[in-house]
Amino acid sequence: MNKSIVIYYSWSGNTRFAAETIAKKAGAALFEIKAETPYNSDFNKCCDEAKPECYGKKLRPIMPVSGLDLAKYDVVFVGTPNWWGTMAPPVRTWVTQNKDALKGKTVCLFQTHGGGGMQRVGREFAEIIGDTAKVLPPKAFGGSSIKSSVAALEAFAAERIAGKQ
Ligand SMILES: Cc1cc2nc3c(=O)[nH]c(=O)nc-3n(C[C@H](O)[C@H](O)[C@H](O)COP(=O)(O)O)c2cc1C
């Protein structure tokens, strides 16, 4: 049986769309990471808040997680927007808090971006997790065209569930 879950953070909806599409294709559970204090909904103000956190690799507090038992899953997809070349701080927090629970699992990162592509997201994600999980190659999707990327998202989901790189 396929025991997979998609865990994601999204500020403006692109990564949420990607996560929902991947979860549907993979038959996976879906879980949203939420910042304890949400970022401002104004783009420039959000940038002002997030930039020093991203550059400083800060862990922004996230909402307590209830009802999520990672032990039930073999494959864990993690989705993040690309913020200043790295993962959004709430995702950094979640991965840091859960890296021990990811031991022995297959972990698949995906991200959406505004033109920068993967940048440091995949590398920094893998560095946090270390070598106790099987981290498959990460995949970047353009955020502005995400709604026309359903076939690519579905292909990614199917390949990673099959353990393909
Ligand atoms: C605070 C902030 C910083 C961003 N930094 C980058 C970046 O460094 N490189 C890039 O390609 N896109 C960057 N973007 C664009 C987002 O990665 C892109 O729009 C993404 O699809 C948004 O995902 P979301 O809708 O799930 O929040 C940034 C967006 C925000 C709000």
pLDDT digits (tens, 9 = 90+) for 108-151: 999 999 999 999 999 999 999 999 899 999 999 999 999 999 99
Contact predicate 107/129, CB 8 Å: yes
Rounded CA gap, 137 and 83, in Å? 19
Q: How far is the CA of 53 from the centre of ligand 1 (A)?
A: 14
Please indicate, yes or no, whether the overall pTM of this predicted structure exceeds 0.75.
yes
The protein residue with its alpha carbon nearest to ligand 1, atom 6, reads 83
Q: Which ligand 1 atom is at minimum distance from the Cα of 79?
A: 26
pLDDT tens digits, 95-105 = 999 999 999 99
Beta strands in 9-125 (DSSP E): 29-32, 75-83, 86-87, 106-113
Mutate which of 32, 53, 54, 83 for ligand 1 pocket (most atoms within 8 A of beta carbon): 83
CA distances from 147 to 5, 41, 71 (A): 21, 21, 32
Q: How many Cα atoms occupy the beta-carbon half-sphere of 165 within 13 Å? A: 4
CA of 46 to the centre of ligand 1 (A): 11
Q: Residue type for 67, please?
A: G
Query: What is the four-CA torsion angle of 137, 141, 146, 148, rounded to 10 degrees?
Result: -80
| Residue numbers of the domain that contains 136 | 4-161
**CATH assignment at residue 51:** 3.40.50.360
State pLDDT tens for residues 61-86: 999 877 889 999 999 999 999 999 99
Is 125 in contact with 78 (CB distance < 8 Å)? yes
**Protein residue with least CA distance to atom 15, ligand 1:** 114
User: Residue 2 C-alpha to ligand 1 middle, in angstroms?
Assistant: 31
CA 112 / ligand 1 centre spacing (Å)? 7
Amino acid found at 81: P
Question: Into how many domains does the chain fold?
Answer: 1
The first and second tokens of residue 50, run together, are 């997030």
Please work out whether the CB of residue 10 comes within 6 Å of at least one atom of ligand 1.
yes
Nearest atom in ligand 1 to the alpha carbon of residue 46 is 1
CA of 44 relative to ligand 1 center, distance in Å: 12
> Is residue 24 classed exposed, middle or buried when 0-12, 13-18 and 19+ CB atoms within 10 A define those classes?
middle
pLDDT in tens, 147-159: 999 999 999 999 9
- State both tokens at 159: 């390949």
